[in-house]
Structure formats: structure tokens, C-alpha cells
Structure 1
Amino acid sequence: MMGTPLSALLRPVVPTLNTQHRAGVALASLALGQVAAPAGRSYVALRRGKLSWPEPSELARNGRAVEGLWADSAALVGLPA
């Protein structure tokens, strides 16, 4: 858990960092259906402690890149592509 001490040190300098608690609450709210994405949105981001639904990056919308990442990830864990 190296991120925890580092986050604690950086938070006074970079107050926009999300805490583990805020991230956990946001994830639980999504998983439990307490927060719903706007129609047509599937990508969520936690920015300054608030959920937002930005457009995924151009690379994330690139089908060839997505397929390549899936194949590489499958190979790394020993699954067929």
C-alpha cells in the first residue's frame, strides 16, 4: 500500500486528490445503483470528489486498440485471445 502514505503527503499540496474513502463511497454508490449514469454514458470519472461522465479518450474508442489490449491482457494471464 505505497499509495496511501504518498497520497497523505501529497494531499496538502494537491488538494484535488481523491481520498480512498471518497473513491470507495463513489464505487459503492455506483455498484448499489444509488447513482445512475446519464442516458448513453458508460464511462465515469471521480474528479474533486464528484462523479462525472466524460467522453472516453480517442484511444479508448479505437476498436483496434481495444482488441489489442484485450489480446495482450489475455496472453499475460494465460487465457486464449
Structure 2
Amino acid sequence: MGTPVSRPLRRVVPTLNSAEQAGRALADLASGSLRPPPGRSYAALRRGQVTWPEPTLLARDAAVADAVWQGSVRLARLEAPPSHLDERRQESDHD
């Protein structure tokens, strides 16, 4: 946490990640100097260390992923591409 509250809070909750730790992890991931192990794609920073846990069920939900993408498109004021869920619905209509 990089807020003015984070330093005193870290004394009480020492497992909080610092802004420096988070920034370093993001830079390593973005630059490719830190790569996921085979079969992993989800990274989490735990106690200052990058870990590769299984994503939660919510993170693996296609409808949630689609909603996040569609929301991002609206926030960025981009033209929305068709939803991959719409394509699945059309395929199931033909079955």
C-alpha cells in the first residue's frame, strides 16, 4: 500500500505489500523478466513474493470476464467488439 496510512498499518499487518514491492513485481511481469511456470497465468503478490495460485471460480467465469471487458470498453469510450458470449449463444441456437 502506498498511502500515508500504509506505513503505520504495516506495523499492525506486516504482511501488506509495499508500493515498491508491487511496482517491482509489475515491472518484472511486464518486462518478461518474471515468467509464469508452465500451465500458470494468474499471478498474486503475497508477502512481497510473486506466487502463481489457481484463479478463483469467479476469475474463471466467462460471463464475468465478458462483463469486465465490456465495462472497460465503455469506460475507455471505445467501439465495443461483439461479445464472445453472443457468439456462443448463436452457436447453441443452431444446435
TM range (shorter): 0.7 to 0.9
> Which structure 2 segments of 5+ residues have no match?
81-95
RMSD: 1.7
SS of match in other structure, 2:50: strand
Residue 30 of structure 2: aligned partner: 31
Residue 46 of structure 1: aligned partner: 45
Structure with the higher helix share, 1 or 2: 2
Which residues in structure 2 correspond to 1:2-81 (within 5 Å)? 3-81=2-80
Higher alpha-carbon Rg? 2
**TM-score normalised per structure 2:** 0.73
The number of aligned residues is 80
Moved more, 36-45 or 26-35: 26-35
Q: Work out the percentage of aligned pairs sharing the same amino acid.
A: 53
> Which structure 1 segments of 5+ residues have no match?
none
**Displacement, 1:46?**
0.5
**TM-score normalised per structure 1:** 0.84
